[in-house]
Structure 1
């Protein structure tokens, strides 16, 4: 597919959303404390410089940081227009499984080929936010064997590529003021590996809809309608398949027996990601829910807007503080305003 002028323009403005997966990642979700807006704005304006300072000391690490801003935080930080589709993550409560909505004003998706680079930049961000914001979740992601998740299946095979990835993940003329931006949904899924590993491989493959070893998608005749692949195949009435750009990473703790996937999905419109999640949790005419949810449970859920790179280097003005009303004149007690005398 050729890359047209629109795609080139978008790609030149975007944060490093379209870059390939790295070996390491660190995800920070942050809430802004009361009165912390000014310090947060200063950090956002300095973030590209912080990344360069850390990245220069780790040659070859390809350190980057994609920054997202939540709906409530946007109005606390910026005056002027908002991204057209920015809203709070709605959450999804199905009859059997639920996707919660959890707090989050800022997302820092830190990526590199080396974990020390991710850690150093996360420390710098945390220091700048001290006293102004609270880190409510920090997750260390890593690339697992052959791009697999901790369930043992390859994750992200059907991600769009090239120009199609850009048009899938990045806003264009439909919201020209924010062209090059993207909406991102993040969720932390915890896996019940004991129950999962008790399934024979053939049954695991039916849950996912792909072969485990070779990563080949099952035929429509073989693939169960409630498999993860089938449920997440989204077709518009005109036959167009809608996609998202996933940057999922495994995470885990042997001591805590915590094994999971950090789901992170970029899209030009959050409606595509939300439609997929709706099908997963609330079901459709074809399936009651996504069967993977019997083994994977989300414990967080937040939606952010990742503005184009130039936005962070030249932030809009802060919102105008509400005018403080002048105190009412004191009464003299006799019904007059007590201003001077008529004598």
Structure 2
């Protein structure tokens, strides 16, 4: 008989038009306050979501490797470690400070704003916001470079298989890993390229999003380098929920990359291909126009574990809580199905 999984956080939800991404650091000595705040997070989310039931408000919380040691008791998630910075021949993927990640999304910006405000009020001066990004849907699911975002995301139960930890780490079934990076685009340089050259950078046609044929697609294109396979030739996937963002007054235009997976190794391999090259030196040409300015890796506990996060030295109950059927089928209230995506996959 299969072991049921605990209920996951709403990592896999329906498409939304807006998102807020908050990266927080925890003040020394305030771990108890932050742990209490995390335990209240699901209740706050329900209270705000109740005011607009049809607008798909959700908040996903993740803890960094260091934050897990400071805030949580019991065993560690098997693959949790700090984000690994990458210094390639021309481009850098930096690791930046961050103890907690909050990913809020909804069909309305006011819901994200209200929930973020209440959560931060609850934390008070126990946390500091070190990065804040307000994302939005751009026309027909495109990034600010003009290409469709996330067309290779798995859907339905396949998405749950890609994202949710299973028997490989039984103490953390229903959890996930998430890698985030904020990319800033040089739109002046990008828009100076003819469309055909932009397509060679990405590896897709701009108008219809079709992938370029293998004999035309350059080996340093984004699609070529972020398509990874295991030793049996099976493609390894993640679920991206990226969003564009921008500030007109400072000419800041970018994409917030956020990739969920049941193991961070797949995302990390994609990043090594992009920044170091595969083969070495064949780096992703998109990095000539998009600069990574942040980087973090976080563990997303199951909803039950987050609601009852034990302090260091405490033990926790490990009896699994079954996943409701609607959590793993498309068209359900959790909306695992047609998912928001990420930059040109």
Task: Tell me the TM-score normalized by structure 1.
Answer: 0.89
Deviations, residues 70-100 of structure 1 (Å, cap 9, x unaligned):
1001111112101001000011100100000
- What residue in structure 2 maps to residue 199 of structure 1? 193
Match of 1:244 in 2: 238
Provide the rounded CA distance (Å) in 2 between the counterparts of 1:153 and 1:71.
34
1:99 aligns with 93
Gaps of 5+ in 2: 315-345
Counterpart pick for 2:34 among 40, 61, 66 = 40
Q: Following the alignment from structure 1 to structure 2, what is the Cα–Cα distance between the partners of residues 264 and 254?
A: 23
Offset at residue 59 of structure 1 (A): 3.3
Structure 1 partner of 2:310: 316
Q: Compute the displacement of 1:286 (Å).
A: 7.5
Following the alignment from structure 2 to structure 1, what is the Cα–Cα distance between the partners of residues 311 and 207?
53
Extract structure 1 runs of 4+ deviating beyond 3 A.
317-320
My pick for the range that moved more, 223-232 or 12-21, is: 12-21
Alignment partner of 1:238: what SS? Answer: coil
Q: 1:99 to 1:172 in 2, by over 3 A?
A: same
Which residue of 2 is the match for residue 255 of structure 1?
249
Q: Which has the higher contact order (CA 8 A, sep 6+)?
A: 2
Which of 119, 132, 157 is equivalent to 2:113? 119
Cα RMSD over matched residues? 1.4
Q: Which residue of 1 aligns with 2:324?
A: none
Alignment of 1:164-203 (within 5 A): 164-203=158-197
Quick check: 1:231–1:287 contact (8 Å CA) kept in 2? Answer: no
Q: Hey, what does 1:21 align to over in structure 2?
A: 15
The Cα of 1:237 is off from its aligned counterpart by 2.0
SS at match of 1:304: strand
- Mark the structure with the bigger radius of gyration: 1
> What's the secondary structure of 2:76's corresponding residue?
coil
Deviations along 1:214-240, whole A, 9 cap, x unmatched?
011111111111100000010122111
Sort the Cα spacing of 1:137 and 1:154 in 2 relative to 1 into closer, same or farther, 3 A. Answer: same
- The structural deviation recorded for 1:21 is 2.8
Q: 1:216 aligns with which of 210, 220, 227?
A: 210
Given the superposition, is the C-alpha separation of residues 280 and 43 from structure 1 closer, same or farther in structure 2, using an over 3 Å criterion?
A: same
Deviates more, 1:111-120 or 1:12-21: 12-21
Q: Which residue of 2 aligns with 1:50?
A: 44
Structure 1: gaps of 5 or more residues:
321-343
Equivalent residues of 1:28, 1:109 under 8 A apart:
yes
For residues 160-196 of structure 1, the C-alpha deviation after alignment (integer angstroms, 9 at most, x for no partner) is 1112111111111000110111110000000000000
Alignment partner, residue 87 of structure 1: 81
Cα distance in 2, alignment partners of residues 82 and 15 from structure 1: 18
Q: CA deviation at 1:288?
A: 1.3
Which residue pairs with 1:64 in the alignment? 58
Q: Separation in 1 of the partners of 2:268 and 2:285?
A: 18
Give me the whole-angstrom Cα distance separating, in 1, the residues matched to 2:265 and 2:233: 17
Check conservation: 1:226, 1:286, Cα contact below 8 A. no
- TM-score of the superposition, structure 2-length normalised? 0.88
Secondary structure (helix, strand or coil) at the match of 1:255 reads: helix
1:5 deviation in Å? 6.1
1:232 to 219, 226, 231: 226
1:258-280 Cα offsets, whole Å, 9 max, x none, are 00000000011111100100000
Asked if 2 retains the 8 angstrom alpha-carbon contact of 1:77 and 1:319, the reply is no
Match of 1:288 in 2: 282
Q: When the two structures are aligned, how many residues end up with a matched partner? A: 314
